[in-house]
Amino acid sequence: MAPEPPHLPAQELRRAVASLVVVRASGHLTDPQRHYPRWELPNATLRRLLAEGVGGVILLGGSTAEVRLRTRQLATWSSQPLLFCADVEEGVGQRFEGASWLPPPMSVGRIHAHDPEAALALAAAYGRCTAREARQIGLNWILAPVCDVNNNPANPVINVRAWGEDPATVSALTAAFIAAAQAEGVLCCAKHFPGHGDTTGDSHLELPVLAHSRERLEAIELPPFQRAIAADVASVMTGHLLLSALDDQRPATLSAAVLSQLLRQDMGFGGLVVTDALVMEAITAHHGPGEAAVLAMEAGADLVLMPADADAAIEALVGAINGGRLSPTRLQQSLRRRQLALERLLPEPVQPPCEPLGPLSNGPDGADQRLALTLLQRSLERQGGVLTPVARGADGQGLGVSLVRVDGLLSCPFLSPTAPALTLPEAAGFRCQLVDGLRPADADLVPPGDTPVLLQLFIRGNPFRGSAGKAEPWVALLDLLGQQGRLAGLAVYGSPYLWQSLRGRIPANLPAAWSPGQMPGAQTLLLTSLGLGDSVAQAGFTD
């Protein structure tokens, strides 16, 4: 047995521990621009923590030009190479304005069902696009792909974020994504180990329990992660899930049986293990920030993502090492894995600090725009005829109603005042009425009178929502509008399960369509297919 490495001096030990902590920051440059100040640290705190050795930053918000400046700024506050990451499961434009916002991965999974070869090529293109644009704005670690098998339609948080509904599809597509993305010089992250697909709870809000046997896990949940490991994925993110067959006391993030035994020993993963965000309720409801960080590292995690209190996490980890709860060897193993991950990165291009920041490269010959358009076109499903424009009254207002269900009136990045889901129906005589999906469902959703109604539903698995539309009265509303002869058309953006449940309840000739995407491009293509709008140029895919 090799001897333990000597204890580091106090200041050196604290810096070493801090390098294994990843904190959250806004992609905007100034404190007043922070959208989530509860989680996004102010600049003074960020500057101090990075100077003290914190080794990673997860970013959210801002334009691509801002984030390029932001990553440079943060790098100057640190004396070591930093891991810059973001949850860009649907392309960099999902989080940062100005980049490619791609249809969610489920769009590729649906294509795989009837054209596997094309789907594999699209998954690889998805990885290249995401990685290339990430590098251009200073990110070197993309927290994707989602390797969860979404075989539970009631899953409130994964849904279209998954690449498919069976392990073979998810395994093939995520492996193609990983190989292509990492070839561009970034790190990928397979998540959420050992699989968040078959849950009815959201780990942002509670601790989901999976009662499956080890045999069942090996048949459904684990194959995509095993394939990701075979594809040399750089990192694996833990899921805040209680798997009673493996550990009936602690969630996977804090379980040695899951991380050290299953992931490291049984599945042979030698790369970085990062926790899912430790600010999520599945963890904070049971553990303080310091204890959660120590438990995670005891279990086998290398990096601690978004502890509720970074200073408390660092102090607790230092105390655990000094007190013998965590060994110096355990610390050195994680430090070595972090260093090896950094060595996999392609060198950053040298750029003068005052160089003007132009638009992102769109890939060779506009490949990224073509990818987004191809995915939207090939995943679109529709039935029936085309929508009939509605007459206008004496006041010039349309005499129809476009009822638009949104996640929340104050937080809909895909529904600006100029969003196609609003402007295209209004041009055809439908006055838009937004319905807040966060409010309790009731009968007041039906507009009064006998006006025709275009129903547009934006529903998908979303963190912190706790449902994917299952408690909302859309079946009853469709039936009522149908009985009244007022249903003009149906547009579903997001959940394929909602679309499947609704399309069988409407006449085959009624204009109706589904897109897995919710972004403006998806809105334009869907509504154009129903007869509103006349060009994909409106979707922003052409100059």
Q: What are the beta bridge partners of residue 84?
A: 57
- Higher confidence at residue 379 or residue 414? 379
Which phi and psi (to 5°) does residue 333 adopt?
-60, -45
Model pLDDT, residue 39: 86
Residue 468, pLDDT above cutoff 70: no
Distance (Å) of CA 467 to CA 157, 158, 200, 210, 245: 7, 10, 8, 18, 26
Residue 542, pLDDT above cutoff 50: no
Name the amino acid, one letter, at 101: W
Model pLDDT, residue 537: 47
Model pLDDT, residue 463: 56
The pLDDT tens digits of the residues spanning 61-73 come to 999 999 999 999 9
Residue 511 near residue 527 (C-beta atoms within 8 A)? no
Q: Say which of 204, 212, 240, 287 is annotated catalytic.
A: 204
Q: What is the CATH number of domain 60-288?
A: 3.20.20.300
Active site residue 276: yes
Burial annotation 86-103 (CB, 10 A radius, 16+ → b, else e): bbbbbbbbbbbbbbbbbb
How far apart are alpha carbons 310 and 452 in whole angstroms? Answer: 54
The pLDDT tens digits of the residues spanning 279-326 come to 988 898 899 999 999 999 999 999 999 999 999 999 999 999 999 999
380-539 has the same fold as 60-288: no
In the structure encoding, which two tokens stand for residue 501, read together?
């449940």
Q: 3-state DSSP call for residue 87?
A: coil
Q: Across 460-511, where does the E strand assignment appear? A: 487-494
The pLDDT tens digits of the residues spanning 438-460 come to 665 555 677 778 899 999 999 98
Q: Say which of 276, 302, 368, 407 is annotated catalytic.
A: 276
Model pLDDT, residue 443: 52
Active site residue 287: no
CATH topology (fold) of 380-539: Rossmann fold (3.40.50)
How far apart are alpha carbons 126 and 111 in whole angstroms? Answer: 14
How far apart are alpha carbons 378 and 373 in whole angstroms? Answer: 9
Instruction: Please state the separation of Cα 63 from the chain's center in Å.
Output: 18
Query: Residue 22: which of 368, 272, 355 has the closest Cα?
Result: 272
The pLDDT tens digits of the residues spanning 228-266 come to 999 999 999 999 999 999 999 999 999 999 999 999 999
Model pLDDT, residue 538: 46
Residue 343, pLDDT above cutoff 50: yes
Domain boundaries, the chain: 60-288, 380-539
Residue 178, pLDDT above cutoff 80: yes
Q: Mean pLDDT across the chain, nearest whole number?
A: 90
The pLDDT tens digits of the residues spanning 16-44 come to 999 999 999 999 999 899 988 888 999 99
Q: In the structure, what pLDDT confidence band is assigned to residue 543 with cuts at 50, 70 and 90? A: very low
Dihedral angle computed from the Cα positions of residues 237, 102, 132 and 305, in that order, rounded to the nearest 10 degrees: -20
Percent of the chain at pLDDT exceeding 70? 90
Model pLDDT, residue 201: 67
101's torsion region: left (phi>0), alpha (psi -120 to 50) or beta? beta
Q: 3-state DSSP call for residue 271?
A: coil
CB-based contacts of 278: which residues, under 8 Å, 6+ apart?
Answer: 253, 284, 289, 292, 293, 296, 304, 305, 306, 307, 308, 313
Model pLDDT, residue 392: 83
Q: In the structure, what pLDDT confidence band is assigned to residue 8 with cuts at 50, 70 and 90? A: confident
262's torsion region: left (phi>0), alpha (psi -120 to 50) or beta? alpha
Q: In the structure, what pLDDT confidence band is assigned to residue 357 with cuts at 50, 70 and 90? A: low
The pLDDT tens digits of the residues spanning 368-412 come to 889 999 999 999 999 999 998 888 887 778 889 999 988 776 678
Q: Across 224-357, where does the E strand assignment appear? A: 235-238, 242-243, 272-274, 304-305
On the 0-12 / 13-18 / 19+ scale of CB atoms within 10 A, 139 is buried
Instruction: Please state the separation of Cα 144 from the chain's center in Å.
Output: 8
Name the amino acid, one letter, at 480: L
